[in-house]
Structure 1
Amino acid sequence: MTVKVLILEDNPVARSFLSRVVRESFSDVSSITEAGDLEAARRLLGYAPGGQAVADQAPYQLILVDLELPDGSGMELLKELAAYPATRIVTTLYSDDEHLFPALQCGADGYLLKEDRFEVLVEELQKIVRGQPPLSPAIARRLLTHFRTGEGASFGQGNGHATATALHQPAHAVAAPLDHERLTPRESEVLTYLSKGFTIKEIAALMGIKWFTVNDHIKSIYKKLNVSSRAEAAVLASKQGLV
């Protein structure tokens, strides 16, 4: 199975750099496609008439999205990828609140700064395999500062930023009891391994599937169980006698 990656970046030098980062990060990535603007990315993603990306039989599993593009903002694409089965990582030069929090609210699974060293970006991207969000060190510090100073409750009230809850729960999340019947057999199996502390790569090896597929299952589990971490999922599963 070929793991497909899409890099949306208008700067050719940056595209080449990010492509090298991806190949260094994942040994099983053998297909990287590059797009220089939103129109090209949408064409590659096979957009439906309603303006949403449609996953074909061989969808992209990882999409790197620049925010400032010649024909619009990467924020638009993040919103349009809401139902697309891929891990979406912002790769940008902007580290300010006005870009960071809206990007997370739009569905970004990680936020990396292109100015970081090659080794740092590789290390952060590899966190995907461990089920952790890739965040540049400066971005992680910014998020911690907001929480520690109390600003995390609203991330800049009155400025339209994402709320702290938005970082930890899907936008659609509502309080609801655990309904394990909604989990597929594969998802239940992944949840069992997660609860026992196995890494994504270990689960992939045990189940004989790609780690990107395991990552997709985990995202689906989090969505169905209304949780945002393996710890929360494990606790809920344990209380319900699922593991």
Structure 2
Amino acid sequence: MAKLEIVIFEDNRHLRESLEMVINSDPELACVATFSNGSDAIEKIKKHDPDIVLMDIEMPRVDGIDATRLIKKHFPEIQILIQTVFYDDDHIFKAICAGAAGYILKTTTPSGYIEALKDIGKGGSPMTPGIARRIVDLFRNSVPQKETAASPMLSFREKEVLHELVNGKSYKIIAADLNLSIDTVKSHIKNIYAKLQVNSNTEAVAKALRENL
């Protein structure tokens, strides 16, 4: 089984080296490169061709949000997990709009990092619980009470699944919570993405917020 290859962008040397050790301690993961800032991100990603990027927000020269936006523009298939000390709505919103597939705090445990990286590698969108709640609140507060004619019409079940996704839950947990099979959950998610014309739940939330669906 091929390992998930990960590139780290983190300006704190001690944390960068610690994360590299944590990642390489798991047999399913491999850290292939680390960088202290987001400058020349396209060239760095092109050289190492990772599956996942673990991205810090606050970095010198080019910050993590701008680097995320550039990477997703040139390499849309690469999944980006934001890791940061920021807990405010503005940073969360900007990271999601830039294309991040997950958002966790630096206070996350080593095992939490490993779990999040594996989850994102399987198509999930891991988020620290507190972050997930803020995104739910942003989503609810930004969606008008009445749907407009141009709004994509999600079914009741699709809305339930979307709500679970925004909470950062895995397909397996969603299936258990809603008493569905994993295949049925995947089918609903596929329909949600098609209707919203997105490729991840974070993109779905970003689109809903941007267009006030």
Aligned residue for 2:115?
A: 123
Partner of 1:39: 39
CA distance in 2, matches of 1:223, 1:15: 37
State the 1:196 CA deviation: 6.4
How many angstroms apart in 2 are the aligned matches of 1:117 and 1:144? Answer: 23
1:138 aligns with 2:126: no
Kindly, what percent of the aligned residue pairs are identical? 27
| Structure 1 segment 1-243 matched on structure 2, within 5 A | 1=2, 3-24=4-25, 27-39=27-39, 41-46=41-46, 59-82=49-72, 83-84=74-75, 85-147=77-139, 150-153=140-143, 195=183, 222=193, 226=197
Give the CA deviation at 1:95.
1.1
Give 1 or 2 for the bigger CA radius of gyration.
Answer: 1
In the alignment, the residues of structure 2 paired with residue 126 and residue 42 of structure 1 have an alpha-carbon distance, to the nearest angstrom, of: 23
Choose between structure 1 and 2 for higher RCO, CA contacts under 8 A separated by at least 6 residues: 2
Letter in 2 for 1:17: S
> What is the TM-score normalised by the length of structure 2?
0.61
Cα distance, 1:223 vs structure 2 = 6.8
Write 1 or 2 for the structure with the bigger share of helix.
Answer: 2
- Pick closer, same or farther for the CA change 1:118–1:3 going to 2, 3 Å: closer
In structure 1, stretches of 5+ residues that fail to align are 47-55, 155-167, 169-193, 199-217, 231-243
Residue 69 of structure 1: CA displacement?
0.9
Q: CA deviation at 1:224?
A: 10
C-alpha contact (below 8 Å) 2:39/2:67 kept by paired residues: no
| CA distance in structure 1 between the partners assigned to 2:200 and 2:37 by the alignment | 33
CA spacing shift, 1:101–1:13, aligned 2, 3 Å: same
Instruction: Give TM-score, length-normalised by structure 1.
Output: 0.54
Structure 2, unaligned runs of 5 or more: 145-161, 163-181, 202-213
Q: Which moved more, 1:129-138 or 1:96-105?
A: 129-138
**Runs of 4 or more consecutive aligned structure 1 residues displaced over 6 Å after TM superposition:** none
Deviations 1:161-204 (A, max 9, x none): xxxxxxx7xxxxxxxxxxxxxxxxxxxxxxxxx73679xxxxxx
Whether the aligned pair in 1 keeps the contact of 2:11 and 2:37 (CA below 8 Å) is yes
CA distance in structure 2 between the partners assigned to 1:197 and 1:146 by the alignment: 24
Secondary structure of the residue aligned to 1:81 is: helix
Equivalent residue letter for 2:17? S
Q: Assess, with a 3 A threshold, how the Cα gap between structure 1 residues 227 and 42 changes in structure 2: closer, same or farther.
A: closer
Is the Cα–Cα contact under 8 Å of residues 35 and 41 in structure 1 kept in the other structure? no
**Structure 1 contact 2–31 (Cα < 8 Å) conserved:** no
Q: Matched residues in 2 for 1:224 and 1:153: separation?
A: 16
The CA deviation at 1:99 is 0.5
